Structures are given as C-alpha cells and as structure tokens.
Amino acid sequence: MRKGIIERYRAYLPVSQQTPIVTLGEGETPLIEAPRLAQHIHPAMRLFLKYEGVNPTGSFKDRGMTLAISKALEAGSRAVICASTGNTSASAAAYSARAGIRCYVLLPHGKVALGKLTQAVIHGATILQIEGNFDEALQLVRTISEHYPITLVNSLNPYRAEGQKTAAFEICDELGDAPDYHAIPVGNARNIASYWQGYKEYHVQGKTTRLPKMLGFQAEGAAPFIVGHPIPNPETIATAIRIGNPAAWNEAWSAQRESGGLFECVSDEEILEAYRLLATSEGVFAEPACAAPIAGLIKLARAGYFTAPCTVTVTLTGHGLKDPDIALKACHYAPQTIPADYDAVVRALHLG
C-alpha cells in the first residue's frame, strides 16, 4: 500500500504523532528515463521525467496538500480556501473531501482547464469564478483568510512547500545522487523553491554528493522572472502557469542564484511543439505547462548551454488528461467517419 509522503518522509516534515494524516497515497511517482527525447535535445544528455501527473488528483499539488490539510485539521480548522489556475483547487477539493472539511475555491473565469474544474465540482467544493486573473484571485483569498477562520491552502501556506520538497528526495533516492540540472515550469514559483529546499536538505544530510542547477521556465506571455518584475496581464495557452505576480518571488530567485541555474521563457508555439514531442516520442502525456521545461531545454541546447555529458531531471507537474481540449487542438484532430465496412476501413487506412 502506498503510504503517502508524510509517512514516507516523516523525519523531514513538521508533523508529530498527534497530527491526523490526511492522505490519498500521493508521491512515489515514476522517474521515467526519456532516451529519445534526450537524443533530440542533446546527444550527451541523460534525461529523466518526474511524472507528477500520476499523483491522486493528477498533479504535484497533492504532495503539499496532504500536509496542508493534515495540519489544518490538527489546528482545528473546519474550512480551507484557495485561488487557483486549476490544479491547486482540484487537490484542495479532494483532500478536503477526504478530511471532511469545507473547501472554497476562487478561479479566473474561463481560464481553467475543464478537467481541473470538474475535479473541484465533483469533490463538492464551493466554487466562484472571478472576472479577473489568478493574481487577483490570490489577493482576494489572502484577505478573506485574514478576516475569517478559513485556512489558506495556496502555496503561501508553509506546509505546502514542505510537502512539495519530497519530490526532490524521491529523485535523489532513485538516482542515487542529485542530477546535474533540474528543469521545471514556473508559475507562482513555489515549486522551484521547494525542490531547491529538498535538494539542499538531502545534501546537508549527506545523502547526495552534489546539488543541481535549477532551470526555471516560463511562458513568454507570462514571464515576470524574465522581464524582472511582475506583469499585470499574463497570457499563455499553458493556463496552469498564467501568472504575472509570483508569490514566491524571492525564494525562486534564491534557488536560481544559489544553484547557479537560470530562468528562461518559451513561446506558446514552442510549448505546443514540445508537448506533442513528449507524447509521441516517449508515450508520456503531460499538460501544456509541463512542456515549457522541455521546450526550454531544447532552446538552451540549441544555444550551446550543455557542453559536457549531464543528467537532467524534468518535473512534469500535471497530467495531460486535465486539458483534453488543448491536446485535440494541438494535434489538429479532425475525426474521419466511415461506413462500418471492411473494404472502407482498409481503404481509409491506405492499406490496400
């Protein structure tokens, strides 16, 4: 049975025997070697995909949510609230249902993938869509959590970051050491900071001999780390990372600086190309935001960034099935309907 990340990494997490553990068996996600994709990017690269899409609600958010909800319950909270581009709300709704507490969700109207919205609905969250973007929704829920006894479970909640760092532990446990580079999509910027925290903690404990360079990738239209300041109207097809004013601004810069890594951005076209390439060359279906680091690695390799043989891990943060509309559009799928007839099938498949 999957124990979940709290039991697995209890020694590294702020829990006690009194903490009621709310888990859906998150973590222990596959680290998939991707030789075809590596060959495409750089011949001397070993590439590993940390496939977070197979977490219980289909994204990495579950690692932080198991801890945030457990600690909320321990503190006697009966309700939680979050703003979300979709995955946080899906996870918060599921773990709240599991815990038997209320979940309030604020979403940017029309900008949440259908699968993610559906998850919040089925788990019984109270959902409001605001006429504004994620950054505005986050500001609103922060203020509400200050005025009412409702626990904020966005990544400003310190337990979220603690839970999310366990993905870095799993990578090191599996590889036997830290990778040379870790590539990751950046939105509100907590996850890159959490990974860096995880890598550092393992290093201090003597579990690894080195630290990776952290490579953070944003979409061109939502790239505050590239322009160097928050932006008011972020826009990208990768709605998960459609964020202009990242909450973990300082922590993410620290991760970049301390690790000797970088931030880079890629266009929506590059994201969609990498999205299809990942699915067709490796059989891995991840949502569009996850293609940003793949596209970013391709861009860096073309610019001559990787010179020596290296090991690279990429976090694929969410499952592709969350956003089927984009997948069908990206592949220009136009269904062909034919008679239920042997000859018609053979002809249509160009076999005879």
Stretch that binds ligand F0G, among 86-94, 145-153, 294-302, 341-349 (CB under 6 A): 86-94
Stretch that binds ligand F0G, among 180-188, 203-211, 275-283, 295-303 (CB under 6 A): 180-188
Contacts of 123 (CB under 8 A, 6+ apart): 90, 93, 94, 96, 97, 103
> In 10 A of CB 180, how many CB atoms?
18
Stretch that binds ligand F0G, among 65-73, 93-101, 183-191, 264-272 (CB under 6 A): 183-191
Which residues inside 95-154 make contact with ligand F0G, applying CB under 6 A?
none
> In 10 A of CB 328, how many CB atoms?
12
The smaller minimum CB distance to ligand F0G, of residues 42 and 214, is found at 214
At 210, the amino acid letter reads R
| Contact flag: residue 189 with ligand F0G (CB under 6 A) | yes
* Spatial distance between the Cα atoms of 224 and 324, rounded to a whole number of angstroms: 27
The smaller minimum CB distance to ligand F0G, of residues 241 and 300, is found at 241
Q: What are phi and psi of 351, to 5 degrees?
A: -90, -25
With contacts defined by CB under 6 A, how many residues of the chain interact with ligand F0G?
Answer: 21
| Contact flag: residue 212 with ligand F0G (CB under 6 A) | no
Q: Which of 23, 59, 157, 236 binds ligand F0G (CB under 6 A)?
A: 59
| Contact flag: residue 157 with ligand F0G (CB under 6 A) | no
CB of 126 to ligand F0G, least distance (A): 16
Identify the CA nearest to 248 among candidates 196, 203, 288, 289.
Answer: 196
CB of 205 to ligand F0G, least distance (A): 24
Q: Quick check: 273 and 332 in contact, CB under 8 A? A: no
| Contact flag: residue 239 with ligand F0G (CB under 6 A) | no
At 238, the amino acid letter reads A
| Contact flag: residue 186 with ligand F0G (CB under 6 A) | yes
Identify the CA nearest to 290 among candidates 187, 193, 165, 162.
Answer: 187
Stretch that binds ligand F0G, among 12-20, 80-88, 258-266, 333-341 (CB under 6 A): 80-88
The smaller minimum CB distance to ligand F0G, of residues 23 and 154, is found at 154
Stretch that binds ligand F0G, among 145-153, 181-189, 262-270, 340-348 (CB under 6 A): 181-189
- Chain center to CA of 124: 23
* Spatial distance between the Cα atoms of 284 and 334, rounded to a whole number of angstroms: 22
* Spatial distance between the Cα atoms of 14 and 86, rounded to a whole number of angstroms: 27
Q: Which of 80, 262, 278, 289 binds ligand F0G (CB under 6 A)?
A: 289
* Spatial distance between the Cα atoms of 220 and 290, rounded to a whole number of angstroms: 14
- Binding residues vs ligand F0G (CB under 6 A): 59, 61, 84-88, 155, 185-191, 240-241, 287, 289, 317-318
